[in-house]
Chain A
Amino acid sequence: MKRIANTIRDIKEYPSALIGLSIIMILIAVSIFAVIYMPYHRAIALWKGADNIWMDNPRNASPAWVNLLPGINIPETIVVDSAGQPGIKTITPIAAETKTVDFRLGFDYTYGEFPKEINIFFTAQYEEIPPHLDLIWHTPDGRSISLDSQTPKHSSTYRVSQSSRLQRRTGGLTPHIGLLAKPGSKPEVPLQGKYELEIQGLTFEEAADFEVKLVVYGHVHGLAGTDHLRRDLLVALLWGTPIALAFSLVAAVGTTIFGLIFAAIGVWYGGWLDGLVQRLTELTMILPALPIYIMVGLFVSRSIWVILLTVILLSLFSGSKIYRAMFLQIKEAHYIEAARAYGAGDFRIILRYLIPRIIPTLIPGFVTAIPIFVFLEASLALLGVGDPVLPTWGKVLSEAQANGALHMGHYYWVLQPAVLLLITGLAFAAFGFALDRIFNPRLRGL
């Protein structure tokens, strides 16, 4: 107990250790938050992106906080949904089965840039005859542009930006630019003010009805932006934290403990057993570990936990060389002799006297080893053998690389996971280095 108190007192003297430790604490807190706020299955379902859950998000949007920077006013996404909002929809019956259903979806456009895309989503209820709709776009300066007529299925999307008929009508401009451009401006600038999408619908059945949702996609979204599949990167950045911590901690513990035990057994028994452990350590050194992880990932299972098991199996003997030298010294210590004298068995000596003696010198190395495994997960993801379902930092990074994020200037996509990896790595490394100086008095003051 006193020893722990002493260590804590020592840690306080190293600012780098304090900073490192606080970052580690924050990461742990974020992990707990992530697991509670977004349960595992939900996170995976979100990341898979089934059922078009991300349709209201723009593609490749920067984080929304860039708008807080002075002088920057990047368009945000505008969603006008007729469902749940009164006053947008007016229904007038004109015959027994026929009704007109009119919508006026208005929004204020105040940005100096054009939106990324415009989509209109319809959900219609009918038995046999779908409703018929005419769409009219009203600009703030009083022009009216008629869009394509639609006969929506139960659930359908009108992709305004991809309509080539509309493009001809807006003077050859991409529709989402043409619809918002100030007339006669070259290069085009958006006309600011109140726009309105008018929809004149006709339904042909008693129970028929429909709803409309207009989405004017912006260039920014949420805290972390989105990727090429419109997914909110926050999901992966948030959930990447517990995964990175769990993976690296288990890997570091696994690799350290087995190396330690095997080294202790080798040194204690000596003879052929010692020779065997040493040869196996050499074997571990030249084992092509990374290609083996890749092959396991490709041929056996992509699951991150199978890879974790492989990492531990391959490094069973990895540390033995370093620990051996320490054990050789301790083996001759008097207290070991005393233990033998009172009749302690081999395993009792190894587990109770040999190993605990070197654990303090080991902790720094253990802490500094954690970043290696944090980055290993990212490395494997980058090579395309990352876990297929888990949202991790490495996955985000590898998808960004694969989709040319740097070439296209989507820096946020690369920077966010990279900075998280960097912070995690630095925190553990700084903490480990400080611990090294505390536990190894020879280094103290150096």
Chain B
Amino acid sequence: MAAELPSGPKIPQRPAAKRENPALDNLLRFGKYFITRVISLSITLVIAVYLTVLVANMGGAVDQIREGQIRERIGLMALADPEIMRMPVEDRRAMEEELVRLEMSRYGLDRPFIVRSFGYLTRAMTLNLGRAEYLTSDSGSNQVKLIILERLPTTLLLMMSSFLLIFFISLYFALYLSRHYGSFMDRAVIALAPVSSGPAWFYGIFLIMFFAAVIGIMPFGGMVKAPPPTQWFRYALSVLHHMTLPVIAVFCSSLFIAVYSRRTFFLIYSTEDYVEMAKAKGLSPRAIERRYILRPTLPPIITQFALALIGQWQGAYILETVFNWPGLGLVMLEAINMYDTPVIVANSVIFGYLLAFTVFILDIIYAIIDPRVKVGSEEGRL
């Protein structure tokens, strides 16, 4: 579907008299747009991460992380040095304190916060936040970066599959409803649209109660049954089994509203004159839908979808905690419960990255489907 669109019907080009090669020209414009977006989003992301760091340090949390790291290193150094170990306890303490003070000033930790905050910014951007205080990754490391990156794929697996399924199902379903406007199904979807006011995790609780606790055909949570199957095929099947309920939960919270608003768009656009014209020309309903209804409605639909997606990412964190899905959200909950500050800060940063990537990818899709971007208009942006 998405792959079809770019090669779909061509928007009439402007008179190409002065243009040598319109295709190359388009490519150049697209390239320029692409680069502008990357730069502007990167700047935005840096500011967002900086704000995150500022919030995190409101209680002195980042300062504590840094001081903890330095103390740990100096403590290890002292243990490894027989000379220091032979000193009396008080002298050793005093010496360690002195070393910590020197290190703090070497790293500039005694400078005002505003200066230091930029150092934190670079560390946060590269997720170089040192070691977790309590949590470890599955491979046993306590590097914050590893803990976070290890959980990223599972989160992506769950959320991307739900997002894509919802996008395409809602699109086809909405087209179907706009064709059968006023039918029972249509009215049912309108009636069900308010159901989407609840977040996915909320429906997740109901689903777990019904399918796991009462009927017992679905697992309470987790990603794969224990012990994990060794054959890859059975493993995948078990993951699918565990994914079903969370995906249905996301469906409950987003499908009806998505179908409802898309159907409304389609209905509004299908009363346009050019659609009547196309009907008069005797085009097949499929062709009318694809060329005259879907094409102009896709940009606003993508915008809407983008906003919904960003909301969904927030919900994903809580959905994971409800379903015990071992992703970023669950690691966040674990970090909150153990007060593991480095992990919380890193998790917030990666969340910013996820949002920025979402906006970026949608920007690109937008550029592909919206002709205004091709002709270089400023408006063609999310």
A residues sitting closer than 8 Å to B (CB atoms) are 16, 20, 279, 282-283, 285-292, 294-296, 298-300, 368, 371-372, 375, 378-379, 382-385, 397, 401, 406-407, 409, 411, 414-415, 418, 421-422, 425-426, 428-430, 433, 442-443, 446
Contact = CB atoms under 8 A, between A and B. Distances in A.
B110 to A, nearest CB: 22
Nearest to B347: A291
B61 to A, nearest CB: 5
B355 A378 contact: no
Interface of B: 40-41, 44-45, 47-48, 51-52, 55-56, 58-59, 61, 191, 193-199, 201-202, 205-206, 208-209, 212-213, 220, 264, 267-268, 310-311, 314-315, 317-318, 321-322, 332-333, 336-337, 339, 341, 344-345, 347-349, 351-352, 355-356, 359
A289 B52 CA distance: 9
Contacts of B349: 288
A290 B197 contact: no
Contact of B197 (A282, A299, A371, A443): A371
16 contacts: A279-B44, A282-B40, A283-B44, A283-B47, A285-B355, A286-B355, A286-B356, A288-B48, A288-B351, A290-B314, A291-B344, A291-B351, A295-B61, A385-B336, A406-B220, A446-B264
A375 B351 contact: no
B11 to A, nearest CB: 22
A298 B344 contact: yes
A443 B199 CA distance: 25
Contacts of A414: 205, 209
Given A299-B59, A383-B318, A285 B359 contact: yes
Contacts of A443: 264, 268
A385 B47 CA distance: 25
B95 to A, nearest CB: 32
B173 to A, nearest CB: 16
B177 to A, nearest CB: 11
Contacts of A407: 213, 220
Given A294-B336, A406-B209, A433-B193, A379 B48 contact: no
A147 to B, nearest CB: 38
Contacts of B61: 295, 299
* Chain B, interface SS category: helix
Contact of B202 (A285, A289, A299, A422): A422
Contacts of B195: 426, 429
Contacts of A433: 193-194
Contacts of B47: 283
A291 B311 CA distance: 13
Contact of A286 (B48, B314, B333, B337): B48
Nearest to A408: B213
A318 B61 CA distance: 28
B355 A406 contact: no
B55 A375 contact: no
B172 to A, nearest CB: 19
B51 A299 contact: no
Contact of A379 (B59, B197, B199, B348): B199
Nearest to B318: A379
Chain A CB within 10 Å — which of B56, B193, B194, B317 has the most? B194
A382 B267 CA distance: 40
A428 B45 CA distance: 34
Contacts of A411: 209, 213
Given A283-B44, A287-B48, A426-B194, 10 more contacts: A288-B351, A291-B351, A292-B55, A295-B348, A296-B55, A375-B198, A375-B202, A378-B202, A406-B212, A429-B195
Given A286-B352, A414-B205, A421-B202, A295 B55 contact: yes
Nearest to A369: B197
Contacts of A397: 205
A288 B358 CA distance: 12
A379 B315 CA distance: 8
A415 B214 CA distance: 13
A5 to B, nearest CB: 26
A287 B358 CA distance: 12
Nearest to B206: A418
Contact of B196 (A285, A295, A429, A442): A429
Contacts of A421: 198, 202
B58 to A, nearest CB: 5
A446 B59 contact: no
Contact of A290 (B193, B206, B339, B351): B351
A50 B96 CA distance: 46
Nearest to B260: A433
Chain A CB within 10 Å — which of B61, B198, B333, B352 has the most? B198
A285 B193 CA distance: 24
Contacts of A290: 314, 317, 351
Contacts of B56: 295, 299
B348 A446 contact: no
Given A287-B352, A291-B344, A384 B333 contact: yes
A300 B194 contact: no
Contact of A287 (B51, B196, B344, B345): B51
A292 B194 contact: no
Contacts of B191: 16
